[in-house]
Amino acid sequence: MEIENRKKHKKKDKKPLYILVGTFIFFAIFIYLLTRPSLQSQAIEQIQVCSNVNDVKSLYERYKFDLLETDENGNKIVALEFQDAVREKLSSFKLNDEELIKCLEWIPPSKTSLNVIIIPDLSRRIIDTLNNPNQIDNDIMVLNTIWTSFVEYSKLKQDTKDKLMVDVTDIDQAKGQFSSIANNLQFDLSSHKGKSNRLYFTDEKNKQFQNSVNELYKSAKDKPLGADYIFYFRRYLVNHLKKPTLYDNYINKVIIITDGYLELEKRQDYGGGSRWNYTEINPQLYNSVNIGNIKNTITSLSLNIPKLNNIDLKYTDILVCEVNERKAGKTKDFEILKTYWEDWFERMNANPSKIKFIQREQANDITKNRIDEYFKN
């Protein structure tokens, strides 16, 4: 009996020790779990010591399904912190364009921003009441529709770099006063950070666009000049187009408002000893409309609009609005003009499926609907 009591007493004496040891083990495990590097931390550390693109890609593929989180729309995405580490490491390799394109094929796409460039033809077409009656009113309707579509596209987003600008082919257009209007026809949301884009598009912004467009055409009407799109693309458009980067994705939308006749103010030599001014259609092209070989005929006669080697339209959607045959070319000029422009764009790497034409319509609602579709697609 005495022996049993001693054993019980010893057990009671050790009980506090067991509790102490258990508590120590519990806290040790707790501290280990707190201080143990997470899977994401391990992945990021491994990314940071990669020495080439292939190593980064291999690690990304290994961890991308284990490092998922939910975005603001409730979709599962690769953790943004891990994505940022991947992009930062790739950026450190100073990738050339070809290497960058290959990387963009496997890393998650960045937030997409819209880059809209509108270039209206302010040549004599706007006062040509015979071929283009009420053209200024039509142009302004098109511009206002584009603005509305841009606002509808952009306003529900946040922290994008959406941009819209109206430009001219020649700074001497609009009686040389375009520079004073230009700033009011540029709308850049890249500095509108941390807020819904809806807050950017105020009534004041709407009035600014509408008033500036009206002022532009009021000035242009008094002194219409030729519209040299070849020169504009070579000199100015090349600086306005945006390419995707590791951090930003862009859709360029170039919108040209023209009857389709390339009317240069001065006859320019754009190479090959030929002078280009497409205000009149070569008679030999009319037969090609019926045969269906317009493009081949243009090429065989060396009438192609000259390709510009400094322009790449790979990431660009193109819309040509208000294309309109002149009285002398009714029933055939549209097909020829359309082929001229398509051939030119395609030789500068434009995707044929991304080139759209809107013929001048009697019903403005048709034009409005097609412009709206262009932005939605």
- b/e sequence 329-353, b meaning 16+ C-beta within 10 Å: beebbbbbbbbbbbbbbeebebeee
In a domain, 228, yes or no: yes
* H-type alpha helices, the chain: 2-35, 39-48, 53-63, 80-91, 97-104, 135-154, 178-182, 203-222, 229-232, 238-240, 284-291, 294-300, 333-346, 364-376
Tokens of 312: 């790449």
In a domain, 368, yes or no: yes
Q: In this predicted structure, what is the pLDDT of residue 72?
A: 76
In a domain, 225, yes or no: yes
Read off the pLDDT of residues 76-131 as tens digits, 9 standing for 90 and up: 999 999 999 999 999 999 999 999 999 999 999 898 999 999 999 999 999 999 99
What radius of gyration, in Å, describes the C-alpha atoms of the chain?
31
Q: In whole angstroms, how far apart are CA 281 and each of 22, 124, 256, 258?
A: 94, 17, 20, 16
Regarding whether 48 and 190 lie in a shared domain, the answer is no
Q: Provide the residue range defining the domain that includes 59.
A: 39-104
Q: In this predicted structure, what is the pLDDT of residue 309?
A: 92
Regarding whether 146 and 64 lie in a shared domain, the answer is no
In a domain, 5, yes or no: no
Q: In this predicted structure, what is the pLDDT of residue 262?
A: 82
Q: What are phi and psi of 72, to 5 degrees?
A: -65, -20
In a domain, 170, yes or no: yes
| Boundary (domain end) residue, out of 85, 104, 123 | 104
Band of pLDDT at residue 330, cut at 50, 70 and 90: confident
In a domain, 10, yes or no: no
Regarding whether 68 and 179 lie in a shared domain, the answer is no
Regarding whether 362 and 220 lie in a shared domain, the answer is yes
Regarding whether 286 and 150 lie in a shared domain, the answer is yes
Work out how many domains the chain is built from and give that number. Answer: 2
Regarding whether 361 and 223 lie in a shared domain, the answer is yes
Residue type, 46: Q
Question: For 316-335, what is the mean pLDDT?
Answer: 92
In a domain, 4, yes or no: no
| Boundary (domain end) residue, out of 104, 126, 159 | 104
Give the CATH number of the domain where residue 126 resides.
3.40.50.410
Regarding whether 166 and 52 lie in a shared domain, the answer is no
Regarding whether 174 and 44 lie in a shared domain, the answer is no
Regarding whether 122 and 87 lie in a shared domain, the answer is no
Regarding whether 201 and 94 lie in a shared domain, the answer is no
Read off the pLDDT of residues 18-57 as tens digits, 9 standing for 90 and up: 566 566 555 545 554 444 458 899 999 999 999 999 999 9
3-state secondary structure 202-268: CHHHHHHHHHHHHHHHHHHHHCCCCCCHHHHHHHHHHHHCCCCCCCCEEEEEEEEECCCCECCCCCE
In a domain, 263, yes or no: yes
Regarding whether 244 and 323 lie in a shared domain, the answer is yes
Read off the pLDDT of residues 65-86 as tens digits, 9 standing for 90 and up: 999 998 877 889 999 999 999 9
Query: Nearest-CA neighbor of 181 among 190, 173, 189, 191?
Result: 173
Query: Nearest-CA neighbor of 324 among 337, 343, 342?
Result: 337
CB under 8 Å to 217, separation ≥6 — which residues?
122, 126, 136, 139, 140
d(CA 113, CA 157): 10
Q: How many CB atoms neighbour CB 159 within 10 A? A: 14
| Boundary (domain end) residue, out of 59, 74, 104 | 104
Read off the pLDDT of residues 165-199 as tens digits, 9 standing for 90 and up: 999 887 766 555 677 788 899 999 999 988 999 99
Residue type, 313: L
Strand partners, 275: 269
Regarding whether 286 and 182 lie in a shared domain, the answer is yes
Highest mean pLDDT of the ranges 7-16, 271-280, 368-377:
368-377
